[in-house]
Amino acid sequence: MGRAASNRVEAYIAGAPKEVRGKLKQLRKAILAAAPEAEEKISYGMPYYSYKGRLAYFAYFKNHVSFFAMPPMPEEYRRELKKRMTGKATIRFDFKEKLPVAFLKNIVKARVKRNSEKI
């Protein structure tokens, strides 16, 4: 990950409302822990991570944060996240809700594995 890209993601987080910055930092840390070789940058105005293909995005909105995993979402994860999913692989969390960090890491690891197998 280049320092310039890292600075842009840090600026994105710093520009978020104070009450959501902690969640965004958690999401970033979880993604990078699950995919330490991932490239980090801003794409479509939000933090984006890739490793041998697309991995994930995250963003904040007025009342929630979203984690955008790349479809297809493995079925076992879809069942677990049924109440939080708003699209094929979009997961919403209210600002006050605790993030399932370990679970999100598993989703990213599954995508890293899938991307690695495509090559």
Q: Which residue has the tokens 């990213």?
A: 108
On whether the CB atoms of residues 51 and 36 are closer than 8 A, the answer is no
Q: How far apart are CA 27 and CA 16, in angstroms?
A: 14
pTM: 0.87
Q: pLDDT tens digits for 95-105? A: 888 999 998 99
CATH number of the domain that residue 70 is part of: 3.90.1150.200
Q: pLDDT tens digits for 26-39? A: 999 999 999 999 99
Beta-strand (E) ranges in the chain? 39-43, 46-50, 54-60, 64-69, 90-94
Q: pLDDT tens digits for 69-85? A: 877 666 776 666 666 65
Q: How far apart are CA 53 and CA 3, in angstroms?
A: 20
The domain tally of the chain equals: 1
On whether the CB atoms of residues 101 and 22 are closer than 8 A, the answer is no
Q: pLDDT tens digits for 2-55? A: 556 568 999 999 999 999 999 999 999 999 999 999 999 999 999 999 999 999
pLDDT for 43 equals 94
Residue 72's domain comprises 3-118
